[in-house]
Homo-oligomer: A and B are copies of this chain.
């Protein structure tokens, strides 16, 4: 029984750019599970209505409709315990939650750097929803948000210091091999890469090297997705 994953897509169906869908794609690959991917757009609320909410990722497994990346990852861990672990036990699950929240915070900072690029990749039907909801959130036009990005870039990079320090001494947050904590944070960088040529990380940043390792993981699953570098 192949699972189905509803994943945010742009005007081009193959362009997948949700920071919260990518961790699930990586987690499914980590577990070695096949999945049918269904491209989804912001206005397709009806398609995921059985999940009882309006956001992706949504994973369908048999008659179960699952949502929220964290809950989906935990479901995969519980239901496929004989596959490689995503967390490393009960304490690992608890310790990983913070990484997911950190990813949300990083995404909320990174979006200021790539906002217009997201817009440019949306379907024409999604564009009005996106512009209106994001301009309300930021209190300015999309173009005004991005106009400040060169001055925001150093602040963004400085905010990654504790990640950088860690990746100087180990290849992944999970150690020698990546865990869900890695995928949660990686989702932000993969999201940005999929829709924007703007370079979030300096080339010599240990965070950039870690990103490259994850781009190449699972036979280049993330690297082969349409993106900018």
Q: Which residues of A contact B (CB under 8 A)?
A: 85, 87-99, 101-102, 104-105, 161-163, 165-166, 169-170, 172-176, 179, 181
Contact = CB atoms under 8 A, between A and B. Distances in A.
Contact of A175 (B90, B102, B175): B90
A89 B96 CA distance: 14
Nearest to A98: B166
Nearest to A94: B175
Contact of A162 (B93, B102, B161, B172): B102
28 contacts: A85-B91, A88-B88, A88-B95, A90-B175, A91-B174, A91-B179, A92-B92, A92-B95, A93-B175, A94-B173, A94-B174, A94-B175, A94-B176, A94-B179, A95-B95, A95-B179, A97-B166, A97-B169, A97-B170, A98-B99, A98-B162, A98-B163, A98-B166, A101-B162, A101-B165, A101-B166, A102-B162, A104-B165
Given A101-B165, A166-B101, A91 B94 contact: no
A173 to B, nearest CB: 6
Contacts of A96: 95
Q: Which of A95, A96, A166, A179 has the most CB of B within 10 A?
A: A95
Chain A, interface SS category: helix
Contacts of A94: 170, 172-176, 179
Given A88-B89, A95-B95, A175-B90, A104 B162 contact: yes
A173 B96 CA distance: 9
Nearest to A95: B95
Contacts of A104: 162, 165
